[in-house]
Amino acid sequence: MGSQKIVVCGGGGFIGGHLVADLLRQGNKVRSVDLKPLDEWYQLFPEVDNMQRDLREKESCEQAVKDMDLVYNLAADMGGMGFIENNKALCMLSVLINTHLVMAAKDARVDRFFYASSACAYAADKQTDPNVTALKEEDAYPAMPEDGYGWEKLFSERMCRHFREDFGLTTRMARYHNVYGPYGTYEGGREKAPAAICRKVIEAKLSGNHEIEVWGDGHQTRSFMWIDDCVKGTQMIMHGDYTDPLNLGSSELVSINQLVDIVEEIAGVKLKRRYNLDAPKGVNGRNSDNTLIQKVFGWEPSTRLRDGLERTYHWIYDQMSPRFAKRPATQAVS
């Protein structure tokens, strides 16, 4: 798979940065495109053709895919549940990114185009119970996805399908389930649950105020996929023969309370929990049914949550601890 010309759209983001790193390790010639200024990219590689462009614009998409063999579209305006529930219009506008990218990819005659979809594309009525039945790919229809973000993902999946059917553009799609790991967002409002819980536990530990806020009642359930599994599965799906959307997620289901338990154990603390029932919490339960990806590839994401969280916790701790070291004990934050 080495020595191809590959563009990663959204390469300045969390998943994109890890994908760029892996593609480089394989010996590919990589272009990375992102809206953010270069100094805000999660990972920046000087040997890459780094471009700051607004991929909602058609001209930027044409520049991004020019002379490329493969296109990975990971670009979107997104974040954790707090961001998704309060920015539906912004999430919907990501439809411009994928629409202009598939148009540009078709005209540039790229070999393959990958679209990063999401488990938010699944019908909400299948996710009302914390003791959820794992989601199969066909559960996306009849359509009732997450409002805003989920609708954009489902629509863009159809766009990829029809460009394949009508124009012969080879498209591949994965529905990501909650990806986590180092070099990700852990504060500011766009972070997802694993990073948010790690941050809150670290703050409680370093400040000495052994109390944290948990969004919802803590009984809502999710699965969380380690970033290396995501990067491996993404490339597997890109180079495979399966044309419809595939689940890409862990099938290890945990409640948010269990997630806090694990992070407390890693941190060596026990904290008082305050439950904010008014905070955004998303669906009550979501898990990935991996029957199809096992059938197609004989593989599924399998890194234990405890193992991945330990590495994620220590990375976030290293980012945060210098701030606390600079403060006198009397000024520690609550």
Residues noted as catalytic: 149
d(CA 197, CA 190): 13
**Longest Cα separation, the chain:** 66
Structure tokens at 121: 């594309």
Rounded to the nearest 5°, which phi and psi values hold at 29?
Answer: -95, 115
CA-to-CA distance for 18 and 190, rounded, in angstroms?
Answer: 18
- Per the DSSP assignment, residues forming a β-bridge with 34 are 52
Q: Which of 72, 83, 86 is nearest to 34 (CA)?
A: 72
Do 281 and 126 touch, CB atoms closer than 8 A?
no
Rg (CA), the chain: 20
Reduced to 3 states (helix: H, G, I; strand: E, B; else coil), residue 72 is strand
Question: Among the residues of the chain, which ranges form H helices?
Answer: 14-25, 58-65, 81-86, 88-92, 95-108, 149-167, 193-207, 227-239, 256-267, 291-297, 305-325
Q: Which residues pair with 176 in a beta bridge?
A: 118, 248
Residue 121, helix vs strand vs coil: helix
